[in-house]
C-alpha cells in the first residue's frame, strides 16, 4: 500500500530540525541582517508547507477517486490545545498548517466529485470499532490499541482511521436520508398523481 506523502519521513524530519536550529541561531544573534534572513526563511517555509499540503491533499483525493470512496477527516479545530505529544512532535504539530490542509482537501474533493466530510474527533483513538468499548485503558502504550472489551488489537492510528471512516459513513447516511415521514401529505399526493392528458378523456 502506498504511503501518504508528508513531512514525517527522515528527510522531512532532518530538514525541519536543521531549519529549527538555524532559526534559533539567527534569533540569538538579533542583528538586522539576521532578522532579514529570518523573514526570508519564513517565506520559504510557508511556500514549502503550502506545496506539501497541495501534494498531500491531491494524493488523498486521487486515491479516494481511484477506489470509489469518500474522504473523511477529523474536525481538527483546537487540536493544538488537546493533543499530548512528544516535544519534537509538538513542534511539528504547531508548525503544521492544519486549516490549509483541510481547505485544500475539501476543494479538491469537491472538484473531483468525491464525497468529503469532517467528523467529530472525540475518542477516535480510544474507541473500539468492533464492539464500541471506549476507554483510556484501550491505549496501553503510545501507538498501540488493545480493546479491554473484546480484545481487538492493532496500531492506534489504524484503529482511529477505522473509527473516522465509520463516522464519515454514518454522517453521509444522515445527510442523504430522505426527509419524507411516510405520513399522508396533500402535496405529495398531488405530486405523485400522473399529469392529466392534454386532450382529456
Could you list the beta-strand ranges (E) of the chain.
71-74, 116-119, 144-146, 153-155
Instruction: Give the pLDDT of residue 38.
Output: 74
Q: What confidence tens digit (pLDDT) does each residue in 53-108 have?
A: 999 999 999 999 999 999 999 887 655 555 555 555 555 555 567 888 899 999 99
Distance, CA of 97 to CA of 44 (rounded, Å): 14
Low-confidence ranges of the chain (pLDDT < 50): 1-11, 180-194, 197-198, 200-201
Read off the pTM.
Answer: 0.59
Instruction: Give the pLDDT of residue 155.
Output: 94
Beta bridge partners of 153: 146
And the C-alpha cell for 165? 471512516
Please say whether the beta carbons of 73 and 99 come within 8 A.
Answer: no
> Residue 140 has what DSSP assignment?
S
And the C-alpha cell for 103? 481547505
Cα angle 116, 119, 124; round to 5: 130
Instruction: Give the pLDDT of residue 67.
Output: 92
Residue 185, C-beta contacts closer than 8 angstroms, at least 6 positions apart: none
Amino acid at each position: 500500500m502506498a504511503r501518504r506523502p508528508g513531512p514525517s519521513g527522515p528527510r522531512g524530519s532532518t530538514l525541519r530540525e536543521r531549519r529549527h536550529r538555524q532559526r534559533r541561531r539567527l534569533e540569538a544573534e538579533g542583528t538586522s541582517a539576521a532578522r532579514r534572513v529570518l523573514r526570508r526563511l519564513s517565506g520559504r517555509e510557508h511556500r514549502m508547507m503550502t506545496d506539501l499540503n497541495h501534494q498531500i491533499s491531491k494524493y488523498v483525493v486521487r486515491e479516494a477517486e481511484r477506489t470509489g470512496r469518500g474522504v473523511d477527516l477529523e474536525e481538527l479545530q483546537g487540536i493544538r490545545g488537546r493533543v499530548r505529544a512528544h516535544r519534537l512532535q509538538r513542534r511539528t504539530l504547531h508548525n503544521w498548517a492544519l486549516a490549509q490542509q483541510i481547505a485544500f482537501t475539501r476543494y479538491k474533493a469537491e472538484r473531483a466529485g468525491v464525497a468529503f466530510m469532517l467528523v467529530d474527533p472525540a475518542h477516535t483513538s480510544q474507541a473500539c470499532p468492533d464492539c464500541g468499548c471506549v476507554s483510556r485503558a484501550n491505549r496501553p502504550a503510545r501507538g498501540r490499541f488493545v480493546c479491554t472489551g473484546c480484545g481487538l488489537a492493532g496500531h492506534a492510528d489504524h484503529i482511529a482511521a477505522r473509527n473516522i471512516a465509520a463516522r464519515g459513513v454514518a454522517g453521509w447516511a444522515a445527510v442523504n436520508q430522505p426527509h419524507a415521514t411516510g405520513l399522508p401529505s396533500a402535496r405529495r399526493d398531488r405530486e405523485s398523481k400522473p399529469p392529466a392528458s392534454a386532450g382529456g378523456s
